[in-house]
Amino acid sequence: MVLVNSDKGRKLFNDISKDILLEDSDLDIILGGYNYQLKHPTELTPERSSIFEIFMNDRDKFLSNYIRCRVKCDRKKFYISAIKEIIKKTIRYHGQY
């Protein structure tokens, strides 16, 4: 199943549709299964905002509270990875809102 939510996505899907195998499907069957996310948005937990606030303001506390490592976490690698993800998401979603 493919969900297309924007003109950019529609163009991309149209561009690749000749190179992939497409098969018609019944939306009622798809929605009738365990696809909860297609029926209702995920409810945000009460902890979500506080977790993000801790992540943005106190990385050491975030690491100690929410990242479980069997060996000692390499904070420098964690920060680099986290920053890369933030940059990727910023680039990916830039201009969509």
With tokens 């000692």, the residue in question is 72
Do 87 and 94 form a contact (C-beta atoms < 8 A)? no
The CA R_g of the chain, rounded to the nearest whole Å, is: 19
Query: What local confidence, expressed as pLDDT, does residue 97 receive?
Result: 42
Query: What local confidence, expressed as pLDDT, does residue 94 receive?
Result: 62
**What does each of the 97 residues of the chain score in pLDDT, given as a tens digit?**
788 889 999 999 999 988 888 888 887 777 777 777 777 778 888 888 888 888 889 888 887 777 766 446 677 777 788 888 888 877 776 655 4
